[in-house]
Structure 1
């Protein structure tokens, strides 16, 4: 700035993320369950057929996977609570 010209800052704003790049909260939750592949199969079936009745097989498999995951999670929480109860 010795010559009287203002040059401004040198940082640049990060590029905005597009909608496709943003993480979907549902996808993130499903990824944690181990059922993501089945979830994607349901999505692909729905995109292809646009009728959930034609996707009953994929929906059933996804539902079964999620039910098993919920049962495992519930058992894990029960075990933790029991362990905390005995350690107090």
Structure 2
């Protein structure tokens, strides 16, 4: 019995349950992640996929910076409200 390809995107039921897939989808970097996976499947050598990996890394870093800024904005108003008078 052949096992399904991990790069087959038609398996929606499995993808919906995968927490890593869900996390990457929320970042807006999913297509870049898939590009890395496709490159790795095609070349079987990560060195051939350096540009895809860098693009995905940059996207994730931008997401993390934006998320950190968003969280800092949420924390600052709350921290001034709880300060003693």
Q: Give your verdict on TM over 0.5.
A: yes
Give 5+ residue unaligned stretches, structure 1: 1-19
TM-score, normalised on structure 1?
A: 0.74
Partner of 1:30, secondary structure, is: helix
Identify the match of residue 24 of structure 2 among 27, 30, 44: 30
Q: Give the helix-richer structure, 1 or 2.
A: 2
Of structures 1 and 2, the larger Rg is shown by 1
Give 5+ residue unaligned stretches, structure 2: 1-10
The number of equivalent residue pairs is 70
Give the C-alpha shift of residue 82 in structure 1: 0.2
Q: What is the alpha-carbon root mean square deviation over aligned residues? A: 1.5
Alignment of 1:66-81 (within 5 A): 66-81=60-75
Matching residue of 2:47: 53
How far, CA to CA, are the matches of 1:25 and 1:55 in structure 2? Answer: 24
How far, CA to CA, are the matches of 2:43 and 2:19 in structure 1? Answer: 24
